[in-house]
Amino acid sequence: MRISEGDKLPQVKVSKAGESGPEPVDTREFFAGRKVALFAVPGAFTPTCSAKHLPGFVEKAEELKAKGVDEIACISVNDPFVMGAWQKADGGEEVTMLADGNGDFAEAVGLTMDGSNFGMGKRSQRYSMLVDNGEVRKLNVEQPGDFSVSSAEHMLGQL
């Protein structure tokens, strides 16, 4: 079942690239006590994700934070090494890159997609959500192939 506005995020272990290797991240702890703009992409370095989705959140980071967002995070079904490399290549420090290596988070929130036709296997759908103290306040799920409602600009309009 897909997560909805008003639901609490599930507790799942994901990871992020740290200075000395992968660092575990507990989603319950990560989202506790603050407002987080989370966006999910099907894959690091993929065309729309690299050309539009991530750059939009990097570009709008100051505006999002000025409207009360404490942290901006990107999550993808990739390993922490890939997410760390993507951050260095395209992301900047404004966005925390979360690696959902096994797709556990995507599955727990009910937002998976099958990318097998592209050799990608199970992935996350493209979406954004505003999470306040672990509760989903806004959820913006894209239709397959679209990029509009999950953008940083759209989220700014919701704040």
Q: Catalytic residue numbers?
A: 49
Residues 6 or more apart whose CB falls under 8 angstroms from that of 37 comprise 57, 64, 69, 71, 72, 73, 128, 130, 131, 152, 155
CA-to-CA dists, residue 132 to 30, 31, 86, 121, 148, angstroms: 11, 7, 26, 31, 22
**Residue type (1 letter), 81:** F
d(CA 59, CA 90): 11
- Main-chain dihedrals φ then ψ at residue 19, nearest 5 degrees: -65, -30
